[in-house]
Amino acid sequence: MVAALGSVIVLAAALYLLALGICALVRPDRTRRFLQSFASSARIHFTELALRLLVGGAFVVSAPRMLLSRGVALFGWVLIGTTLVLAVVPWRLHRRFAAWSVPQATRRMPVFGAGSIVAGLLLLGALVLGRSAG
């Protein structure tokens, strides 16, 4: 049950990255506004942290059944660790960091979009190919 739920969450994360990448290419201004809304309030901050923990945990739980399992598990632990750090940092500090970092990350939206698509495809491939190999 936990393994199946983990796989569904990993699939959702892959689809999110694919959608984010496509939107970044097709609607760059809208995507930039969406990303700038992260950490814009305490509620959004804690929602983001909960989702990061959920996805990080799903990566860790699903990694043994996925292709590139060590990399997936490592990324899951990085998500969990950075989320725990963000949990003890005041959300307004997170908001200031997001206000600085999002423009840096989205300065070249075609590159950002392509990177998101590649990450989504790699994650999807690791999930699907790992399952068929096992």
pLDDT tens sequence across 59-85:
999 999 999 999 999 999 999 999 999
Kindly give the residue spans of alpha helices, DSSP state H, lying in 37-68: 42-62
CA distance 109 to 28: 6
Stated pTM of the model = 0.91
Q: Is the dihedral of CA 8, 85, 30, 23 positive or negative?
A: negative
- Residue 109, domain extent: 2-133
For residue 11, pLDDT over 70 is answered with: yes
Alpha helices in 63-108 (DSSP H): 69-88, 91-105
Cα separation, 80 vs 15, in Å, equals 20
By the 8 A CB rule, do 49 and 83 touch? yes
